[in-house]
Amino acid sequence: MKLRFSATSPYVRKVRMTAIECGIELGLVPTNPWAPDTDLVKDNPLSKVPALVLDNDETLFDSPVICEYLDTLHNGHKLFPHESHERFRQLKVMALADGILDAAIQARVEATMRPEDKRWNDWIERQQAAISRALDLLEKDVGHWGGVFLIGPISVVAALSYLDFRKVCDWRNNRPHLAHWYTTTHNRRSVRETEPAE
């Protein structure tokens, strides 16, 4: 299997952490989805990473789909629990983390890629407010995760590290439980080996 990836994509990082936790080795294909001449569209018509090219040349996207697929390929502890209540709790945490990333990326695109005279500051503030509310909910919820590293916490690591990497906000301010939890995740191989770099 080959993963079309960008080294700074937090969604790619979530997939790579999942693969490591599942004991699966992926071939990494560096891909710039913003390049005008990218061939990514043949694997993902949305021209987004990650895209996972299977051995039969079928392609899976986006990150939640890829992560769940990878979780079916091993016999170890499942990152997507089978039991209904816990499964949907994990999916909810993943959706919250992915929502933080969606908002952070939209704000970044608006603030850095749009011409200054065309920037919509109210839109940026809306995204920042969404991020803050989601972080506050994670601060309340993190104590109930029980130290297990399932798809919800994996997604949260990807989101929090992206906020740091792009200097989006000081998310640790007034969120001591979330900050402590995040620090404890860095002893995991999947977290250490997927740290983003420019």
Rounded mean pLDDT, 143-149: 91
Which pLDDT tens digit goes with each residue over 69-113? Answer: 999 999 999 999 999 999 999 999 999 999 999 999 999 999 998
Whether 193 maps to a domain, the answer reads no
Give dist(CA 153, CA 157) in Å, integer. Answer: 6
Q: Say yes or no: 101 and 172 in one domain.
A: yes
Please tell me the total number of residues recorded for the chain in this structure: 198
Q: Say yes or no: 104 and 136 in one domain.
A: yes
Q: Say yes or no: 62 and 153 in one domain.
A: no
What does pLDDT average to over the chain?
96
Q: Give the range of the structural domain holding residue 18, as residue numbers without chain letter.
A: 2-71
Rounded mean pLDDT, 168-184: 97
Whether 197 maps to a domain, the answer reads no
Whether 198 maps to a domain, the answer reads no
Rounded mean pLDDT, 4-33: 97
pLDDT in the model for residue 147 = 85
Whether 196 maps to a domain, the answer reads no
Would you say residue 175 has pLDDT above 70?
A: yes
Of 125, 195, 111, give the one whose Cα is nearest residue 157: 195
Residues forming a β-bridge with 52 = 3, 60
pLDDT in the model for residue 15 = 98
Would you say residue 172 has pLDDT above 90?
A: yes
User: To the nearest whole percent, how much of the chain has pLDDT over 70?
Assistant: 99
Instruction: Please state whether the peptide bond connecting residue 45 to the residue before it is cis, i.e. omega within 30 degrees of 0.
Output: no
Quick check: helix, strand or coil at residue 60? strand
CATH number at residue 56: 3.40.30.10
Give dist(CA 97, CA 136) in Å, integer. Answer: 12
Q: How far is CA 5 from CA 15, 44, 113, in A?
A: 10, 12, 21
Total structural domains within the chain:
2
Q: Say yes or no: 133 and 50 in one domain.
A: no
Would you say residue 133 has pLDDT above 90?
A: yes
pLDDT in the model for residue 146 = 87
Which pLDDT tens digit goes with each residue over 36-61? Answer: 999 999 999 999 999 999 999 999 99
Q: Say yes or no: 161 and 89 in one domain.
A: yes
Whether 146 maps to a domain, the answer reads yes
Packing angle between helix 63-71 and helix 10-22, nearest 10 degrees? 0
CATH number at residue 109: 1.20.1050.10
Whether 134 maps to a domain, the answer reads yes
Q: Say yes or no: 60 and 7 in one domain.
A: yes
Whether 24 maps to a domain, the answer reads yes
